[in-house]
Each structure stands twice: as structure tokens, then as C-alpha cells.
């Protein structure tokens, strides 16, 4: 019942974020009444009252009573930190992505139903907002776990990211290393158009529509460094994609790095792990439907095996080093094997 009650509260928390109630509490310098918040964000008082009831009952926000008996609501300093930029507020955007695809995914579960639901814009928006505060940290992780990469980037090499989404990570890297040339790519043309619109002003960038699972056999350009984050486990045939990247990386000194959600790869190892429970749930609605694009899809999911991903890279003719970043996330450093 605790889990169910918390799940119910997520609807109110998500709606409070979407309509601006959290913004009003973050901006406030004093406790606010229902009417104060409703007036600030042009909302109906009665809906605001009910939402605040959920948030205060669940102790997500604080409540005090004024001298005339009017309840006033506020976020503690700790609460403002949690729900501020880069905090829990962005993480709750994944709830919108799940709600948007729930009905479609439910049909996929049945044997006579469809198999796949492709990622929607709600998810790309969520990932973009969640990742904005962590771009430098991600770049630092890439550099720390790849000897000599920073020196090469500073000198000038060709770099490609596959599955760039809206391109925030590849654009930040391009700004940091102006002597290198960067290509951002995605399978969805509208995302590539967004990348170009957002980051086209950065001189050392270009953006292309590329399908990591069907890279052209004729190679116009090989890259010194290829990277992707949270992409491989979402692909229908990860091994084939890695074989494609193997063809596109320079030999013998090129590098491919992919960072992915993964872990022990079995339910027994995750019993009692609430983070794993969340990943399995999100994977049901997002990762599995995205990757189940064909009958022979592997459909790894977000809790796939680190060893399986490493084996896929080895079978794609890489010398792979697996670096566990946390229990559910790993970096795979791949160097092309030469015959």
C-alpha cells in the first residue's frame, strides 16, 4: 500500500510541476496561500487546493497556518534544493513520458498485439531537461576512462555521437574542444533538425540522419572517436549496431565508448533493490517497446547484463574494457581489433 499510495501522489506531483505550482513555491520568499499560487499561475483555486492537499499530506511541501486560520504552503530550503535545477523536478518528467505511451504499450503486452512503440517527444524532452545539468559530468567520465582521449581532442580529431537526441552532449563537447570536428546524429529527422537549429552556430559541428542499425556499407568518413549514451540497450540488434560502429571507427587507434544502463542481468540479484524496480518499470514502458522493432529484436531493456553487452562488443571485433560506474550503469571502452 505504501508503494501504491506513493504512486498515486506522483500524479499530483507531476501535475503540480506541469502547471507551475512548484515554480511558484521555488520562487517564493514567504509561505503562500492557495489563492496566492492560483493568482500567480492563473489557475483555478479549487484544483490548486486539492493538489496542495496531496503534496502537503505526503510531506513533499511544508504547511503552516496563519493567524486567521488560512493554510500557507512553502518549500523548505532542502526542498528547494531537491526540486531546483537538475533535481527531482526534472526526473519526474519521465512520468509524463510513461503516461503518454501507457495505452499503446498495454496493447503490446498481448500476444496478438503489436510489438513496438517508438519513443515520443515527451521522452526526448525529459531526457534533454534531465541531462542539461550533467553534461560536463558525462564528458568528465568519458575523458577519465579513456587515456589520451583529452589530448587527442585538444589537438584535433573527428568525433561522432550516435543517438544524439537533441544534441546537448555533442554540442557541449564541441564547445570544449574547438580543434576537433563533431558529428551529431539520430535516426529521427525532426531531432536532427532540432539539433541543427539549437547548435548549428557552433562552427565545428554538423548533424546527420544516421541509423546506427543500418549504417551504409560504403563509408565516406571514418571517425577517430565514436560515443553514445543510453543507446545500445534500446536497439533491436545491439551486436549488429556495434559491428557497424566497428566499420566506422579508425584503425588501429580509434576508440568507441558507449555508456549504458545495465547490471547483473537477472531478477535474483535485484530482489529488494528499489532502484532496480524503478528501472524495470520504466524499461517496460520505454526501452522494451522502443527496441522491439522487429520479430528478431533482442529487446535487452534497462536492466540487461553488463557481460552480455561486453560480449556483443567482443563479437563485433572490439577489445572491450567494462567499467562499472554504479550498480545499474556502466561504461564500455572499445578499441578495434586488427587482424
The CA distance from 94 to 130, in Å, is: 9
- The three-state secondary structure class of 63 is strand
The CA distance from 330 to 333, in Å, is: 10
- The three-state secondary structure class of 118 is coil
Sorting pLDDT into bands at 50, 70 and 90, what band is 339? low
Q: Is the distance from CB of 336 to CB of 246 less than 8 angstroms?
A: yes
Please determine, for residue 91, whether its predicted confidence score (pLDDT) is greater than 90. Answer: no
The CA distance from 77 to 64, in Å, is: 15
The residue length of the chain stands at 339
Sorting pLDDT into bands at 50, 70 and 90, what band is 127? confident
Q: What is the mean pLDDT of the chain?
A: 93
- The three-state secondary structure class of 146 is coil
The CA distance from 291 to 234, in Å, is: 5
Summarize the confidence of residues 306-324 as an average pLDDT: 97
**For 212, phi and psi rounded to 5 degrees?**
-60, -25
pLDDT at 128: 86
pLDDT at 218: 83
> Which of 182, 192, 190, 137 shows the shortest CA–CA distance to 159?
182
Cell of 168: 546537448
- In this predicted model, what pLDDT tens digit does every residue of 149-203 receive, in sequence order? 999 999 999 999 999 999 999 999 999 999 999 999 999 999 999 999 999 999 9
Please determine, for residue 86, whether its predicted confidence score (pLDDT) is greater than 70. Answer: no
Q: Which helix (H) or strand (E) holds 113?
A: none
pLDDT at 172: 97
Please determine, for residue 233, whether its predicted confidence score (pLDDT) is greater than 70. Answer: yes
Question: What stretches of 110-221 show up as alpha helix (H) in DSSP?
Answer: 121-131, 135-144, 149-155, 168-176, 189-199
Q: What percent of the chain has pLDDT over 70?
A: 99
Question: What stretches of 183-273 show up as alpha helix (H) in DSSP?
Answer: 189-199, 238-248
Please determine, for residue 34, whether its predicted confidence score (pLDDT) is greater than 80. Answer: yes
pLDDT at 55: 94
Largest CA distance in the chain: 82
- In this predicted model, what pLDDT tens digit does every residue of 131-150 receive, in sequence order? 887 899 999 999 999 989 99
Please determine, for residue 220, whether its predicted confidence score (pLDDT) is greater than 90. Answer: no
Q: Which helix (H) or strand (E) holds 260?
A: strand 255-261
* Full strand arrangement of the beta sheet holding 205-209: 205-209, 181-186, 158-161, 225-229, 255-261, 329-336, 318-326
Compute CA 117 distance to the chain's CA centroid, rounded to the nearest angstrom. Answer: 17
pLDDT at 256: 98
- In this predicted model, what pLDDT tens digit does every residue of 262-300 receive, in sequence order? 999 999 999 999 999 999 999 999 999 999 998 899 999
pLDDT at 83: 85
pLDDT at 322: 97
Q: Could you give the domains of the chain?
A: 2-84 (1.10.10.10), 94-336 (3.40.50.150)
Please determine, for residue 338, whether its predicted confidence score (pLDDT) is greater than 90. Answer: no
Q: Is the distance from CB of 291 to CB of 297 less than 8 angstroms?
A: yes
The CA distance from 140 to 90, in Å, is: 22
pLDDT at 89: 77
The CA distance from 170 to 139, in Å, is: 9
Distances (CA, A) of 205 to 145, 154, 156, 168: 24, 15, 13, 12
4 CB-contact burial (10 Å; exposed 0-12 / middle 13-18 / buried 19+): exposed
Amino acid at each position: 500500500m505504501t508503494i501504491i499510495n506513493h504512486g498515486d501522489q506522483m500524479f499530483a506531483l507531476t501535475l503540480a510541476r506541469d502547471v507551475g505550482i512548484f515554480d511558484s513555491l521555488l520562487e517564493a520568499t514567504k509561505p503562500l496561500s492557495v489563492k496566492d499560487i492560483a493568482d500567480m499561475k492563473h489557475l483555478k483555486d479549487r484544483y490548486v487546493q486539492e493538489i496542495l492537499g496531496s503534496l502537503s499530506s505526503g510531506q513533499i511541501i511544508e504547511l503552516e497556518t496563519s493567524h486567521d486560520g488560512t493554510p500557507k504552503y512553502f518549500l523548505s530550503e532542502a526542498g528547494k534544493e531537491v526540486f531546483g535545477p537538475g533535481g527531482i523536478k526534472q526526473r519526474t518528467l519521465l512520468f509524463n513520458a510513461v503516461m503518454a505511451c501507457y495505452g499503446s504499450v498495454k496493447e503490446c503486452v498481448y500476444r496478438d498485439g503489436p510489438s513496438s512503440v517508438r519513443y515520443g517527444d515527451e521522452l526526448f524532452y525529459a531526457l534533454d531537461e534531465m541531462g542539461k545539468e550533467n553534461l560536463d559530468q558525462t564528458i568528465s567520465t568519458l575523458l577519465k576512462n579513456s587515456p589520451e582521449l583529452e589530448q587527442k581532442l585538444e589537438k584535433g580529431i573527428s568525433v561522432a555521437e550516435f543517438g544524439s537526441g537533441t544534441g546537448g552532449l555533442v554540442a557541449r563537447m564541441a564547445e570544449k574542444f574547438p580543434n576537433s570536428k563533431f558529428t551529431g546524429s539520430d535516426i529521427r529527422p525532426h531531432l536532427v533538425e532540432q539539433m541543427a537549429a539549437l547548435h548549428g552556430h557552433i562552427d565545428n559541428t554538423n548533424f546527420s540522419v544516421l541509423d546506427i542499425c543500418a549504417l551504409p556499407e560504403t563509408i565516406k568518413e571514418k571517425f577517430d572517436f565514436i560515443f553514445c549514451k543510453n543507446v545500445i540497450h534500446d536497439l533491436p540488434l545491439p551486436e549488429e549496431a556495434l559491428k557497424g560502429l566497428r566499420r566506422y571507427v579508425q584503425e588501429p587507434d580509434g576508440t568507441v565508448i558507449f555508456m549504458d544502463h545495465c547490471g547483473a542481468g537477472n531478477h535474483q540479484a535485484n530482489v529488494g533493490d528499489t532502484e532496480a524496480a524503478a528501472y524495470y518499470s520504466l524499461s517496460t514502458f520505454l526501452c522494451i517497446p522502443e527496441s522491439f522493432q522487429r520479430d528478431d529484436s533482442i529487446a535487452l531493456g534497462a536492466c540487461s547484463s553488463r557481460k552480455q553487452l561486453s560480449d556483443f562488443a567482443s563479437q563485433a571485433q572490439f577489445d572491450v574494457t567494462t567499467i562499472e560506474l554504479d550498480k545499474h550503469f556502466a561504461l564500455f571502452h572499445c578499441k578495434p581489433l586488427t587482424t
